[in-house]
Chain A
Amino acid sequence: MILQCSYQKGEDNMQLQKMMTYNLRTDFITEIIQMVSGLLLFLFLWVHMLFVSSIWRGAGAFNVLANFMDRWGLLPFTIMFLIIVFALHIGTVLRRMPSQYLEHKVVWKHAKLIHHADTWSWVFQSITGTAIIILAMIHIAIVSFAGINAHLSALRVQSREFLIFYIVLLLLSEYHASVGLYRVFAKWGFVNRHSMKRILNFISLFMIFIGAITLGILYTLGA
């Protein structure tokens, strides 16, 4: 009746198909892909922000950059890059997300119960991640069909719906990126995670600030 020394959990049972397809490194590689794709997206976010903020120096500067990208066919390249990296990130991250209703309930119950900031931030991470998928797809679709041009952007921002859309996307992506990068440090070490958190918070606020100014400039340009 009480046989304590038997490890009887699911995966110790022999399953032929599982044995034959088993690769020792699967979980390791998935983990690495998740991290690298996340870091690439983070990097992209920064570059993107820098490029867009060229509007600070006037519509001319913005358009020069846009034309440069157009001439060298960088736009489709970037879009392809984004789709692939997004797909990898989503594909690897999905394994962590609760997939069943019951698991969702567990996540909420647990987060509400233990009063732990990092645990809540993971719940928000899943929510913001899901939202970003939808918002970013819309954003990419618009840009790839309409092309990049200061005038167009300025006009778009004039519409209240689009302005809200961009503000939300800005906030969500900065939050997601910040927490994601913090998590990488938390998992791999090297730095004190508490001071890292403060630094990343500062960086995110700074980026949001830049983004807000950029949106503001576009708004005034449009008006």
Chain B
Amino acid sequence: MGKHDMFMTDVLIIGAGLAGERAAIESARGGLNVILLSLVPPRRSHSSAAQGGMQAALGNTVMGKEDNPYVHFIDTVKGSDWGCEQDVARLFAETAPIVMREMACWGVPWTRVTTEPRIYDGKEINEEAEKVGLISARNFGGTAKWRTCYTADGTGHTVLYTMDSMVMKYGISVHDRVEALSLIHDGETCYGAIVRCLRTGKLRIYTAKSTVIATGGYGRLYGASTNAVINEGSGMSIVLDTGVVPLGNMEAVQFHPTGIVPSWILITEGARGDGGYLLDKNRYRFMPDYEPDKKELASRDVVSRRMMQHIRAGYGVDSLYGSHLWLDIRHLGAKHINTNLREIANICRQFNGIDPVHELIPVRPTQHYSMGGIRTNIHGQAYGLKNLYALGEAACWDLHGFNRLGGNSLAETVAAGKLIGARIAEFTKDVASNVSFSVVEEHLYIQQTKIDRLCSGKSGTENVYELCNKMQDVLSHHVGIFRTEGPLQEAVSMLRELHERSLYIGLRSAEGGANPELGLALRLPGMIRLALCITKGALKRQESRGSHFREDFPKRDDVNWLKRTLAYWPKDAKEPVLRYEPVKITELPPGDRGYGEANARSKSALK
């Protein structure tokens, strides 16, 4: 242990995106010593890529008039297809407007209300004069009111930069370019993490009274994902590896309707929110036929399914990269596109050579978000292990259930950061630091042995990149938008085989240190375990709910399946063990969402 750098702190936060940083600020304000760990410099976190906005019921705009947290709550529950924890959703909806104003106070240049008239869906919208200068909002999918606060097209970017500026203001230590390899725990309590420095490849020990996972999602398990390349679910997998903490609802994977073909970069929901259309190969606007009420702006799961349904019906545009559809924003005009949608205009121009002012954008539903994650209670405390917390996309706080509304994830990171951060500050004060060194030694030894074995060249002959690509293929083809028993069954057995093989990876470069191949070799088995949790969860859940759509069980089944999957991975197991817990319904009993398959031809009555 002597040759390893060791850090002791009150709160160790793994992941310096929005959720991690917000929790760090709250903990630091509570008088605690905080260290933030990050794979990359904090401002490069994937939070920065969220272009669209954050939902909060401020009700400043005409189209958001009479909005309030209760309406936001209802939208969220419907969006989740009644899979969310209602007390969490309620708490979140009430906190969102506060954090939005707090971020304004800290420096986010939110787009403000102006009296300049806007044309939306053929109608002219004029804001009220007395609201000028307050935080504006745009329309997003699955919401009754216009509620999504934004800064032009760089919401995630500006909010993250502002958040990081506060991290600097409070002098919180950030250790970037490090990766947590495992949690230090004794099966009851968590004491910190074993961490690999990505500059030097050396292991470090971080011990903490409270450990917080805020590492984001696992998009990169899928080949085609809008996520950043660092989103490999490593936070979830080190938690799963403890054997005692479950991952919740891993089968709930969101596919965003508009990933650009073929680089799968996200085209923000703002494009449709601001009035963009989806067209098929005949340039026909097909969404109103499926969703007469919400059209392009039904919730993401519904729009994605409708798009795939339409492609399957033969209306897709053929291309080298498979069939796709068109997104049309030409009618919004050059000025609007070049200011409010500038980032996506740039993406079209630079990555596809398309000018969206005059041309159509090729899009297809693409993996985007993981509703599932480390299961926590409403205070952010992980199940099964004391002094371990999780929040943001990495967690299953369960705000999103089986489908997340656009603009709710960014808002969740900040709201949860504030709420859970305060809880962490409160609970950590009562924790005595009494980590036993033998526990630390044990975990350090396991990781060091793994690395030494890989670097010795005697660990096996499997090619790490090949295995990784295979895993991505299995998930993309068998565990996508439409799921059925047969392919899922097949996926489980293929993933089991891949998992077995991943334990015998042979590096082509025996180089230790900051070798990227070694890094992936260390992560991959954990990634495949996550893939197995997703696939097995999907296989067992014999109903369709939110983004989880089983063709062999196309209806929601509230009698048998109004419950949450909890996936455990006991030590040395070959596949996850699934348990279930009931979903908490406090206010809104299961009902009709007002869009989606159950409501295909009926106008929404619930609006």
**B33 vs chain A, min Cβ distance (A):** 14
Q: Within 8 Å CB of B199, what residues of A?
A: 2
A-contact 0/1 string along B162-188, CB 8 Å cutoff: 000000100101111000000000000
User: Are B5 and A4 in contact (CB-based, < 8 A)?
Assistant: no
Cα A206 to Cα B434 in complex, Å, equals 83
Q: Within 8 Å CB of A1, what residues of B?
A: 5
Main SS of the interface on chain A?
loop
**B381 vs chain A, min Cβ distance (A):** 29
- Sample of 11 further A-B pairs with CB below 8 A, known A5-B171, A5-B173: A1-B5, A2-B175, A2-B197, A2-B199, A3-B173, A4-B173, A4-B174, A4-B175, A4-B176, A5-B168, A5-B174
Q: Which 6 A-B pairs have the closest CB atoms?
A: A1-B5, A2-B175, A4-B174, A5-B171, A5-B173, A4-B176
**A149 vs chain B, min Cβ distance (A):** 64
Cα A4 to Cα B176 in complex, Å, equals 9
Q: Pick the most buried of A2, A4, A5: most chain B CB atoms within 10 A of its CB.
A: A2
B-contact 0/1 string along A1-45, CB 8 Å cutoff: 111110000000000000000000000000000000000000000
Residues of A within 8 A of B (CB): 1-5
Q: Within 8 Å CB of B175, what residues of A?
A: 2, 4
Closest residue of chain A to B175 (Cβ to Cβ) is A2
Cα A2 to Cα B168 in complex, Å, equals 16
Main SS of the interface on chain B?
strand
Cα A2 to Cα B5 in complex, Å, equals 10
Closest residue of chain B to A2 (Cβ to Cβ) is B175
Cα A1 to Cα B5 in complex, Å, equals 8
Q: Within 8 Å CB of A2, what residues of B?
A: 175, 197, 199
Cα A4 to Cα B168 in complex, Å, equals 11
Q: Within 8 Å CB of A5, what residues of B?
A: 168, 171, 173-174
A-contact 0/1 string along B415-440, CB 8 Å cutoff: 00000000000000000000000000
**B578 vs chain A, min Cβ distance (A):** 41
Q: Within 8 Å CB of A3, what residues of B?
A: 173
Cα A56 to Cα B5 in complex, Å, equals 82
Cα A1 to Cα B175 in complex, Å, equals 10
Q: Within 8 Å CB of B171, what residues of A?
A: 5
Closest residue of chain A to B204 (Cβ to Cβ) is A1
Closest residue of chain B to A3 (Cβ to Cβ) is B173
Cα A190 to Cα B199 in complex, Å, equals 45
**B434 vs chain A, min Cβ distance (A):** 26
Q: Within 8 Å CB of B5, what residues of A?
A: 1
Cα A4 to Cα B197 in complex, Å, equals 14
Cα A2 to Cα B36 in complex, Å, equals 13
A and B contact pairs by CB, cutoff 8 A, 7 listed: A1-B5, A2-B199, A3-B173, A4-B174, A4-B175, A5-B168, A5-B173
Q: Within 8 Å CB of B168, what residues of A?
A: 5
Cα A3 to Cα B176 in complex, Å, equals 10
**B420 vs chain A, min Cβ distance (A):** 24
Cα A1 to Cα B197 in complex, Å, equals 11
**B16 vs chain A, min Cβ distance (A):** 12
Q: Within 8 Å CB of A4, what residues of B?
A: 173-176
Closest residue of chain A to B202 (Cβ to Cβ) is A1
**B460 vs chain A, min Cβ distance (A):** 33
Closest residue of chain A to B173 (Cβ to Cβ) is A5
Closest residue of chain A to B168 (Cβ to Cβ) is A5
Q: Within 8 Å CB of B176, what residues of A?
A: 4
Cα A39 to Cα B40 in complex, Å, equals 48
Cα A3 to Cα B173 in complex, Å, equals 8
Cα A1 to Cα B171 in complex, Å, equals 17
**B12 vs chain A, min Cβ distance (A):** 15
Closest residue of chain A to B178 (Cβ to Cβ) is A2
Closest residue of chain A to B167 (Cβ to Cβ) is A5
**A93 vs chain B, min Cβ distance (A):** 37
Cα A5 to Cα B199 in complex, Å, equals 17
Cα A86 to Cα B176 in complex, Å, equals 51
Q: Within 8 Å CB of B174, what residues of A?
A: 4-5
**B196 vs chain A, min Cβ distance (A):** 13
Cα A4 to Cα B35 in complex, Å, equals 12
Q: Within 8 Å CB of B197, what residues of A?
A: 2
Closest residue of chain A to B172 (Cβ to Cβ) is A5
**A153 vs chain B, min Cβ distance (A):** 59
**A167 vs chain B, min Cβ distance (A):** 48
Cα A148 to Cα B62 in complex, Å, equals 80
Cα A17 to Cα B388 in complex, Å, equals 53
**B410 vs chain A, min Cβ distance (A):** 26
**A6 vs chain B, min Cβ distance (A):** 11
Cα A5 to Cα B34 in complex, Å, equals 14
Cα A79 to Cα B176 in complex, Å, equals 61
**B206 vs chain A, min Cβ distance (A):** 12
Cα A140 to Cα B128 in complex, Å, equals 72
**B25 vs chain A, min Cβ distance (A):** 15
Cα A2 to Cα B176 in complex, Å, equals 9
Q: Within 8 Å CB of B173, what residues of A?
A: 3-5
Cα A49 to Cα B175 in complex, Å, equals 63
Cα A198 to Cα B435 in complex, Å, equals 71
Closest residue of chain A to B197 (Cβ to Cβ) is A2
CB-CB contacts below 8 Å: B262-291 with A: none
Cα A107 to Cα B540 in complex, Å, equals 66
**A91 vs chain B, min Cβ distance (A):** 39
**A106 vs chain B, min Cβ distance (A):** 26
Cα A25 to Cα B176 in complex, Å, equals 37
Cα A42 to Cα B427 in complex, Å, equals 71
CB-CB contacts below 8 Å: B190-234 with A: 197, 199
